Amino acid sequence: MDRNTFTGLFLIMIVLAGSFYFFKPSEAEMKSIQEKHKTDSLEKAGVAPAPTAVAPIAALPVLDSAALTGPFGGNIAGTVQTSVLENENLKLTFSNKGGKILSVQVKGEKTYNGKPVILFDGDQNKFGLNLNIGGKIVSTNDLYFTATQNAGSINMRANYSADKYIEYVYNLKPNSSQVGFNINLNGLNQVIQNNTIALNWETTLLEQEKSAKKEQEHSAPYYKYVDKNPDHLGVAKDVKEDLKEGKIQWFSFKQQFFSAALIPKDAFEKGDLEVKVSIEPGKIKWYGANMIMPFNQLAAQSYSMDFYFGTNKFSTLKAQGHELEKQIDMGYWPLKYINRFIVLPVFKFLESFGWNYGLIILLLTILLKVAMSPLTYKSYLSMAKMRILKPEMDVIKAKVGEDNPTLLQQEYLKLYKQVGVNPLGGCLPMLLQLPFVMAFFFFFPNLFELRGESFLWMKDLSTYDDFIKFGFTIPFIGDHLSLMCVLMTISTLIYTYFNNQISGASGQMKYIGYIMPIIFLGVLNSYPSGLNYYYFLANMLTFAQQFLIKTMVDDEKIHRTLQENKAKPAEKKKKSGFSAKLEDYMRQQQQAAAQQKKK
């Protein structure tokens, strides 16, 4: 017997015991029962009972009619009834209690365990207006509406009186992910006291993805001020924020791959948003919104809005307008511009051929590597020069010693100047490629197109492939081991080894490069297999590039060129601006060190 069952039985026993105690007959009732039993017995024996005094009839309690004739008195009680609207994209279930959308199913999509995608459901979803009537706040979420359903639409009405009412009208068009929503207030200018009314929406979004932790990290309430870019609340902790910087064009309860947004025709005056990270199984986050709308005291006042329920596919969100697509986290500047204007268009072009997404990622990686090949060549060539110069640098190091690092660096700079080598020539091309490498770190975890797509042993490229499940949690690693992440780590270690061979790295620098791949094993183990697959491919293609470049580069020829440069007169050698600045800096450091010794 589990704890819930035991608790339920215990409460039932308490209720029964209380019933026996509170509802047992009183002494007067017991006496009346005994007298009746006696009378019945005498009647059966043919003996007339003695006359008894007639007790006065107690007055019945009078119902308070004010509760039924007050604000929306006819709607404060009722029976919950549901209605359904659906098209090719959505299945909406409505409840007459609150006149609200009770649940939303996104058709054609499945959760990680194969169930239908339900964005929210049940009584935890609250929606309605908060009205100040007679100094009392009336929430329409608690009223029972009368539903009238037509083709593609549902009308919900709650009557304040015969000619005063609130009406919600929902419209769902074919092949649409938007739900038209109109609020009609008729005759309520005589009863609503304030010049504003508040729209409240609270809901708990349900778990859809394999990793609840990652889904929480990519879920947040978004909002957009008029004439400003969309923004969002924090993703890691409970937050409540007042939105006072301008009128609010829309707000959205966003999950990793799905969103529920509300877009008014006329922007909200102001409002607040709140998010709470859920710790309950099957739930991601609780969202709450309170938006203020003007009430102009008109006899008939209407508010027009649109809901959006659907996927966070970039093209789908963009088709809705209002910059909803900016909910998708493409990274920080300049990463978001690389993803939006370079990576995404190339990805969509490759997608148009209908290929498997594993193949698309492969071709995307090849195209990127080809585009970056000039930088890769320059980087390789510069590292080869530094490797060839290493024997001469070792001679300088032995001559000068390590006690005076400033002087040692100056001698190195003289050598670089003589042979015409830029010491940062290998780093700069790598730095120029780094934004593209980092851009994919944001691109793949937020790419809806990879959701549910399989490749090789990876069943879903949008989440991790738990090739080995531990059944317990290991610090830094988690409860599983991703095979693609392991392959990516091994390829990075091999790449680091060969890179050290090319550059001639020694000492501590030789081993520092091996630390980062081990760190990334823990970091990327729970990231999408599509991301790790890309990094693995990038390493493999880099090996291929370096092999081809190695066949093109002649070390002996480079060495002859360096020696020829060294033999040229100093006045014929062109000094770069960077070299001049670095030389001046080293000279200043040497002078400062000399003055320090004199003191």
Is 90 exceeded by the pLDDT of residue 39? no
Interatomic CA distance for residues 208 and 517, integer angstroms: 31
Domain 70-328 has CATH 2.70.98.90: yes
Q: What is the DSSP string of 339-368?
A: IIIIIHHHHHHHHTTT--HHHHHHHHHHHH
Rounded Cα distance, 342 and 336, in Å: 10
Mean pLDDT value of segment 425-438: 81
Residue 7 is inside which H or E element, if any? Answer: helix 3-22
Mean pLDDT of all residues in 464-492 = 93
Q: How many C-alpha atoms does 547 have within 13 Å on its Cβ side? A: 7
Higher pLDDT, 355 or 54: 355
φ/ψ region of 593 (left if φ > 0, alpha if ψ in -120 to 50, else beta) reads alpha
For residue 177, how many C-alpha atoms fall within 13 Å in the half-sphere facing its CB?
A: 22
pTM over 0.85: no
Range 542-551 average pLDDT? 86
pLDDT tens digits for 390-418? 888 888 888 888 777 788 888 888 888 88
Output the pLDDT for position 559. 83
For the chain, the domains span 70-328, 346-572
What's the pLDDT at 31?
Answer: 45
Q: CA angle, 586 as apex, 584 and 589 as ends, to 5°?
A: 110
Given a contact cutoff of 8 angstroms between Cβ atoms, the answer to whether 325 and 318 are in contact is yes
Checking if the pLDDT of 72 tops 60, the result is: yes
3-state secondary structure of 467: strand
Q: Which residues pair with 170 in a beta bridge?
A: 154, 181
In angstroms and rounded to an integer, the radius of gyration of the C-alpha atoms of the chain is 37
Residue 375's Cβ-count burial label (10 Å; 0-12, 13-18, 19+) is: middle
Which range, of 93-97, 480-484, 505-509, 576-580, averages the lowest pLDDT? 576-580
Average the pLDDT over 147-166 and give the result.
92
Percent of the chain with pLDDT over 90: 54
- pLDDT, residue 16, reads 41
Which pLDDT band holds residue 194 (cuts at 50, 70, 90)?
A: confident
pLDDT at 463 over 50: yes
What whole-number distance in Å separates Cα of residue 494 and Cα of residue 491? 5
